[in-house]
A and B are shown apart, each in its own frame.
Chain A
Amino acid sequence: MGINQNIIAMLKEADFYQKQGLLAEAKVKYQEVVDFLSAHSDLGNAGKIKISVLKKIKEIEKEILYVEKKVLSPYMTKDSQDLITRMFVSSDGEDPNVAILEGAKALIKFGQFERAIEELHRLLDIETLKTEAAKQILNCHLLASKANLAIDQYDRWVSAGSFDKGLLDKLKIQIQDFLKNTGIDMEFPAIFDQKDKQTITETISKSNSGGEGVEKEESSGSKRDTFFFEEEYEEYDVLASLRKKKSPDGKKR
Chain B
Amino acid sequence: MAVLNMRNREIECKIVYYGPGRCGKTTNLEYAYKTYKKQITGDMVSINTEGDRTLFFDFLPMGLGKIKGCDVRVQLYTVPGQIKYSSTRKLVLKGVDGLVFVADSLEVRREKNMLSLKDLQMNLKEYGISVFKIPLVMQYNKRDLEGEGMPIMSIEQMDRDLNRQLKAPSFAASAVNGDGVGKTLSECLKLTLLSLQRQFQWAK
Contact = CB atoms under 8 A, between A and B. Distances in A.
Interface of A: 9, 12-13, 16-17, 20-22, 25, 28, 67-68, 70-71, 74, 76, 79-80, 83, 87-88, 90, 106, 109-110
A88 B94 contact: yes
Contacts of A109: 87-88, 91
Given A12-B149, A13-B150, A110-B56, A21 B91 contact: no
Contacts of B22: 20-22
B47 A67 contact: no
Given A67-B82, A88-B94, 13 more contacts: A9-B149, A21-B21, A22-B108, A25-B108, A67-B49, A70-B84, A71-B49, A71-B55, A74-B49, A83-B45, A88-B91, A90-B94, A110-B88
Nearest to B14: A87
B183 interface: no
B53 interface: yes
Contact of A90 (B53, B56, B95, B151): B95
Most buried by A among B52, B149, B151: B149
A80 B45 contact: yes
A83 B59 contact: yes
Contacts of A90: 94-95
A80 B48 CA distance: 11
A90 B96 CA distance: 12
Nearest to B48: A74
A67 B53 contact: yes
30 contacts: A9-B149, A12-B149, A13-B150, A13-B151, A16-B148, A16-B150, A21-B51, A21-B52, A22-B108, A28-B108, A67-B49, A68-B84, A71-B49, A71-B55, A74-B55, A74-B56, A76-B47, A80-B45, A80-B47, A83-B45, A83-B59, A87-B59, A87-B75, A88-B94, A90-B95, A106-B91, A109-B87, A109-B88, A109-B91, A110-B56
Contacts of B75: 87
B9 interface: no
A22 B45 contact: no
Interface in B90-120: 91, 94-95, 106, 108-109
Nearest to A24: B108
Contacts of A70: 84
B75, B87, B88, B91, most chain A CB atoms within 10 A: B91
A215 to B, nearest CB: 58
B42 to A, nearest CB: 10
Interface string B147-165: 0111100000000000000
Contact of B53 (A9, A16, A21): A21
A9 B150 CA distance: 9
B88 to A, nearest CB: 7
Contacts of A21: 21-22, 51-53
Contacts of A68: 84
A33 B70 CA distance: 59
Contacts of B150: 13, 16
Contacts of B59: 83, 87
Q: What 7 pairs between A and B have smallest CB-CB spacing?
A: A25-B108, A21-B22, A80-B47, A110-B56, A80-B45, A109-B91, A83-B45
Report which residue of A20, A68, A70, A88 has the largest number of chain B beta carbons within 10 angstroms of its beta carbon: A20
Give the most central of B51, B82, B84, B108: most A CB within 10 Å: B108
Contacts of A76: 47, 56
